[in-house]
């Protein structure tokens, strides 16, 4: 018995005391105790936090228009319209046209939350582990893959209706009419509904990605015990 006690005592001293050894060892079962269900719950919480914290902001007035990360600008082929209007003293008209596009996106995003909630609930255990150990936008990419086409179908008619409701159709008709009066320009007649729909979708997923990156890279953003435990596994994946 003495032969066993002495080596154990020496080992304890080497590791600065058995108490510290026990404290260190006690941390490992917490990670090991996490199963796929825990991981899935943690990812759902992280995505819910992103939706609640970031996507909800986009539904507010100026949620797109005053957010430089997602503000919708004219498509490349219409940049010349904007520049020409400003060159001839119609900056206020150009600004109003941009604002109307962003207002339509703000209206459309209100349709997103129920679709997101359903998709988040359906994260499988198998998906969960792959997402957790993926890149900084793995959860956002998963959510995009599950919801993008459904969101487009919801957003598109809302944006079309919003254009009409807030008068954007008339504003753009006036903008294009004014532009087409400029000598020597190539006449344009754009339908912006599809363009704004896709830009609104880009904006939604960009803001969810912002929150996901924050949770993955900033331990202080993990505001619950579950988030801290789940994303600790991601921290240790290397």
Q: 38-49 burial, b for 16+ CB within 10 Å, e for fewer?
A: bbbbbbbbbbeb
- Which pLDDT does position 186 carry in this prediction? 74
Per-residue pLDDT tens over the stretch 115-148: 998 999 888 888 888 898 899 999 999 999 999 9
Look at residue 31 and tell me whether its pLDDT is greater than 70. Answer: no
Least confident of 26-30, 33-37, 172-176, 199-203: 26-30
The domain limits of the chain are: 25-235
- Which pLDDT does position 174 carry in this prediction? 75
Of the candidates 48, 16, 78, the residue with the CA atom closest to the CA atom of residue 86: 78
- Which pLDDT does position 190 carry in this prediction? 58
Of the candidates 209, 211, 34, the residue with the CA atom closest to the CA atom of residue 125: 34
Q: Under the phi-then-psi rule, with left for phi > 0, alpha for psi from -120 to 50, and beta for the rest, what region is 190?
A: beta
Mean pLDDT across 179-204: 81
Say which residue, 85 or 3, is predicted with more confidence. 85
Return the structure tokens found at 61. Answer: 């007035």
Say if residues 203 and 57 touch (Cβ distance below 8 Å).
Answer: no
Per-residue pLDDT tens over the stretch 198-222: 999 999 999 999 999 999 999 999 9
Say if residues 50 and 213 touch (Cβ distance below 8 Å).
Answer: no
Say which residue, 209 or 10, is predicted with more confidence. 209
- Which pLDDT does position 60 carry in this prediction? 93
Mean pLDDT across 150-169: 86
Distance CA 108, CA 196 (A): 10
- Which pLDDT does position 86 carry in this prediction? 87
Look at residue 25 and tell me whether its pLDDT is greater than 50. Answer: no
As to burial, measured by CB atoms within 10 angstroms (0-12 exposed, 13-18 middle, 19+ buried), residue 12 is middle
Say if residues 231 and 222 touch (Cβ distance below 8 Å).
Answer: yes
């Amino acid at each position: 018995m003495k032969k066993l006690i002495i080596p154990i005592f020496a080992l304890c001293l080497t590791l600065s005391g058995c108490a510290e050894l026990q404290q260190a060892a006690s941390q490992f079962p917490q990670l090991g105790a996490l199963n796929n269900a825990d991981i899935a719950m943690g990812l759902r919480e992280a995505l819910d936090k992103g939706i609640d914290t970031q996507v909800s902001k986009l539904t507010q007035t100026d949620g797109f228009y005053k957010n430089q990360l997602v503000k919708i600008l004219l498509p490349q082929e219409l940049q010349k319209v904007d520049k020409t209007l400003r060159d001839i003293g119609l900056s206020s008209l150009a600004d109003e046209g941009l604002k109307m596009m962003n207002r339509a996106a703000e209206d459309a995003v209100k349709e997103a939350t129920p679709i997101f909630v359903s998709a988040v609930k359906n994260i499988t255990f198998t998906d969960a582990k792959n997402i957790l150990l993926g890149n900084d936008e793995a959860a956002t990419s998963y959510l995009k893959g599950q919801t993008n086409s459904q969101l487009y179908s919801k957003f598109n008619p809302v944006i079309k209706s919003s254009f009409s409701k807030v008068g954007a159709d008339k504003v753009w008709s006036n903008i294009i009419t004014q532009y087409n009066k400029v000598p020597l320009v190539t006449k344009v007649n754009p339908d912006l509904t599809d363009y704004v729909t896709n830009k609104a979708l880009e904006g939604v997923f960009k803001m969810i990605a912002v929150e996901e990156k924050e949770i993955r890279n900033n331990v202080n953003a993990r505001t619950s015990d579950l988030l801290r435990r789940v994303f600790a596994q991601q921290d240790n994946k290397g």
